Structure 1
Amino acid sequence: MAKGKDVRVRVFLECTLCVRTSGNKKSLGISRYITQKNRHNTPSRVELRKFCPYCYKHTLHGEIKK
């Protein structure tokens, strides 16, 4: 089986709030999570609410291209 044809793929989720305020001194970094998604069921980009340790609250994490 070819590696690029797998149904379940790894995706990286990045905090959207930290990315927007990366120039701010208050933000120490960017929160990233790794998860899997089914390519056939969800062809669009995934957005989930996850806890961001840099913002100290639950924020929207969007899929990024790695």
Structure 2
Amino acid sequence: MKKIPLSKYLEEHGTQAVLAAALGVNQSAISQMVRSGRSIEITIFADGHLEASEIRPIPARPKRSAA
């Protein structure tokens, strides 16, 4: 198992369309992930399948202040 950032995966392993097909999402979803600057890692498993996960702080959203 190997984890690498989304941008590095795309530089080294192929196109957004190929990654999208491997993850079961549309290419536009990969494009949106790249443009948003989110912290997404691609996990490459020994059998070759891929998973994507996002690293987010907890809590992910700041609390709203009472007005």
Relative contact order: is structure 1 or structure 2 higher (C-alpha 8 Å, sep ≥ 6)?
1
TM bracket (short chain): under 0.3
| TM-score (normalised: structure 2) | 0.24
